[in-house]
Structure 1
């Protein structure tokens, strides 16, 4: 099977990461590579690490240029994908790396994004309960946000097992600067970021909050409420999420095990067959460097009996597992390919 693929937003970080992965995908032929303000430029001028594609010329992001491919990846700013996707043929697999089609609740979309809701597509986080069934054969897929990917992976096993209470979930996540996109911003220049960390979107204002709540609520059947605080870390790539929730009084230790061991086993069992999620051996904690450039998520959990809380830490590369890797993983499932195809890259060190 040879799959023709077009990638929009190819001059940005997300689009560039999609191309990096697709360039090594054995079943893919890369067709149109599009941009907006950078149309007409050579890709190598903007993405110099993409050596195999360096001489390709970026064309304008139009429906005419994107149509005619088996798969179209939309790596466009939030609010820009829906209009393009609506004009693409129904038989084309369209994978939206933006937020336009992630949320189920139109009121939440309008509250956090300030525009009409474009509808909801199958959610491209295969590790969610029931997600793979919805992705098989899908023609429209919404790629999760990077923070929701790490947050959901951190807590899903606990909520799926009925181990956690839904009303006191606290998540703090540190992200590299690439999560803010490639546009020049004063707060992201080296002089501002180096040697410094800072929070933003504090007090429930970050747009990924309803997406995290949606995923955890769907997994648990409960109305999960989340206090989410993102922070900016002095690194280019990666997310380290620390998520905590209280243990339900009805969740008891298994026979012959204490509560901490039973909780840990819930996470181990949930991800035992997942190709891209690693629950680390006890005593080892995730680091962003260990997953850099890969589609893997590294996890560890602990139980704090002093406050009866689970602490789950998850590290991902925000551009790979958090965006482009999740998109390619979802494409593979939708097209009936082996899920890991083109994604067996290991991390990069040092």
Structure 2
């Protein structure tokens, strides 16, 4: 059976990446693409690289236009997804790539986002390790509402969760600094993202614990066994279109050796199709995962400070957003998990 799919927010970067992946998925047919200011235009006017979808035109993002599909992907700014998804009924599988359904705590939502709290959906990070030894994947089977994680959240969570779950790391005083591609800021015109501003420069943002992904990271690491987890993370915009390189550090439990850490991470991800731990002493580049639904990571032990250093790389638009959404769809609908997704990047 071929599934009919609609993508809301199809003119943006996340929407475009969803369409690129879904266009090659053998079990779906993209029937509806929606936008706001671009409604009425051909899809290829907004996404000229999607030549196989040139027959589609963008329509207004309304519940009526999204009704009647088997799967609806929503790639809208926070606050907009919840307004829409409340009106989509119970028949379709709805996958939200925005923030509106990620957090379980209304207090955290009020502090970091504000506005109406729409409640948490099944969390779309299949590889997330849980305290009881299971994985989040099991909670996605048969789900009808799925919230895709934030891209920074995915890079940090996958990098630190194995050590937390194995009891090798202290969950407090976690630190992460991320080099982030500009597509993570969306497609809307913003002066600080102009080529003349970002070219040849690096620019931190949301410094000092203010980034909206902070409570989501803590929520994930607590689910992995990190009771009382705390993290300071600083994203830095760098002049590349795609990618996140997260350098995360944590205090090790006394007596833990690098070999213990390497073994724990390798065991945690040994059976995962989209997460790979590099051999000891090797570290990933963002170029290694460009266009792939892959997370790569390498570990080191800073013996002088007693801290593990985990360097993880993802493509923020694929494993960080659209790839995770399609991977979660496959699991929810009992399709082979890797259908339509690739571990091969694009080089050079």
TM-score of the aligned structures, taking structure 2 as reference length: 0.97
1:296 aligns with 2:294: yes
Q: Secondary structure at the residue paired with 1:337? A: coil
Distance (Å, rounded) in 2 between the aligned partners of 1:221 and 1:138: 26
1:222 aligns with 2:220: no
The 8 Å contact of residues 170 and 253 in structure 2, kept in 1 or not, is answered as yes
Query: Any idea what the Cα deviations from partners look like across 1:206-242, whole Å, max 9, x if unmatched?
Result: 1011111110111014110000111001100000000
Distance (Å, rounded) in 1 between the aligned partners of 2:262 and 2:344: 25
Partner of 2:247: 242
Q: Which runs of 5+ in 2 are unaligned?
A: 130-134
Distance (Å, rounded) in 1 between the aligned partners of 2:247 and 2:318: 19
Q: Secondary structure at the residue paired with 1:99? A: coil
Partner of 2:275: 277
1:97 aligns with 2:97: yes
Deviation at 1:345, TM superposition (A): 5.2
Aligned residues: 343
The 8 Å contact of residues 47 and 54 in structure 1, kept in 2 or not, is answered as no
Deviation at 1:4, TM superposition (A): 0.8
Deviation at 1:116, TM superposition (A): 2.2
The 8 Å contact of residues 34 and 59 in structure 1, kept in 2 or not, is answered as yes
Distance (Å, rounded) in 2 between the aligned partners of 1:247 and 1:284: 20
Distance (Å, rounded) in 1 between the aligned partners of 2:91 and 2:45: 33
Distance (Å, rounded) in 2 between the aligned partners of 1:294 and 1:171: 23
Q: Secondary structure at the residue paired with 1:83? A: helix
Distance (Å, rounded) in 2 between the aligned partners of 1:186 and 1:11: 20
Q: Secondary structure at the residue paired with 1:340? A: coil
Distance (Å, rounded) in 1 between the aligned partners of 2:292 and 2:150: 17
Aligned match for 1:171, one of 166, 173, 176: 176
After TM superposition, list the pairs within 5 Å mapping 1:1-350 onto structure 2. 1-129=1-129, 130-249=135-254, 252-253=255-256, 259-344=257-342, 346-350=344-348
Q: Which runs of 5+ in 1 are unaligned?
A: 254-258
The 8 Å contact of residues 71 and 93 in structure 2, kept in 1 or not, is answered as yes
Query: Any idea what the Cα deviations from partners look like across 1:86-128, whole Å, max 9, x if unmatched?
Result: 1112121000000000001101101111112110001100001
Query: Any idea what the Cα deviations from partners look like across 1:108-154, whole Å, max 9, x if unmatched?
Result: 10111111211000110000123111100000000000000000010
Deviation at 1:54, TM superposition (A): 2.0
Distance (Å, rounded) in 2 between the aligned partners of 1:284 and 1:348: 20
The 8 Å contact of residues 281 and 300 in structure 2, kept in 1 or not, is answered as no
Distance (Å, rounded) in 2 between the aligned partners of 1:105 and 1:155: 22
Query: Any idea what the Cα deviations from partners look like across 1:149-174, whole Å, max 9, x if unmatched?
Result: 00001001000101111111001111
Distance (Å, rounded) in 2 between the aligned partners of 1:301 and 1:281: 9
The 8 Å contact of residues 174 and 233 in structure 1, kept in 2 or not, is answered as yes
Deviation at 1:282, TM superposition (A): 2.2
Distance (Å, rounded) in 2 between the aligned partners of 1:231 and 1:146: 14
- Runs of 4+ that moved beyond 3 A: none
The 8 Å contact of residues 239 and 317 in structure 1, kept in 2 or not, is answered as yes
Distance (Å, rounded) in 2 between the aligned partners of 1:284 and 1:308: 20
Distance (Å, rounded) in 2 between the aligned partners of 1:311 and 1:61: 43
